[in-house]
Amino acid sequence: MKALLISDLHGDQKLLRFLPKIVNDYDIILCAGDLTNFGQPEGYAELIDEIMIDKTCFWVSGNNDTQQEYQYRLKNMQNIDGKIVEYRGHKFAGLGGSYQNYEAQNFGPSLIGKDSDLSGCVLLSHIPPSLKLKYSPVDIVCHSRLRRANPLINNAPSAHICGHLHDTAGVACIGSTKVIKLAPAKFGEYAEMDLDNLQVDFKKVK
């Protein structure tokens, strides 16, 4: 199953023209937040939502999203903050927002914690892991023999997709968990991922 991975759109207008051209190439769209800049430009999040009509799209909010508003207004994008959901044999878990800004508006940290069993899940969050990781610009394989203690989750997910930091992107490993740190979509960056083997390919809008 092929997934489109995007994060940190920040209201970029070029994406409104580009996304409709590629979304049909994917089985699922995963968005790691920051659709807008605190709701601006007005109506942008709803336009992105319209592009996702008849698509399966899971997302979590970022530190620049007003989640309490979006969770009622977005009809086609499913916010999975604080949830573990299944789609076509794959499990997805969501941790929305930013610990610095909107933790009070996002329920993930209280519902999905260190005792949650996320083994086999794809974890979608806005904030990347707090560990200092060295990201590879191309795909790598994460082996269980490289396992380290995960300070956040004991039963670690198979993959962790995240965004937020605009100057860092690539793939890293925390034990057998593959961390996919996305570059900002507002710079024309996105990725595609084969959810069956976790292979990732980073792409740029031409």
pLDDT along the chain (206 residues), means of 10: 95 89 95 86 88 94 72 83 92 77 44 71 89 87 57 72 89 90 94 96 89
Question: What is the distance between the terminal CA atoms of the chain, rounded to a whole angstrom?
Answer: 24
Output the domain CATH number for residue 118. Answer: 3.60.21.10
Residue 162: domain span = 2-204
Count of structural domains, the chain: 1
pLDDT at 152: 47
Tokens of 96: 């929305």
Q: Which amino acid is present at 115?
A: D
The Cα–Cα gap between 4 and 31 comes to 8
Task: Return the SS3 of 25.
Answer: helix
* Closest-CA residue to 77 (of 135, 147, 30): 30
**Claim: this prediction has a pTM higher than 0.75:** yes
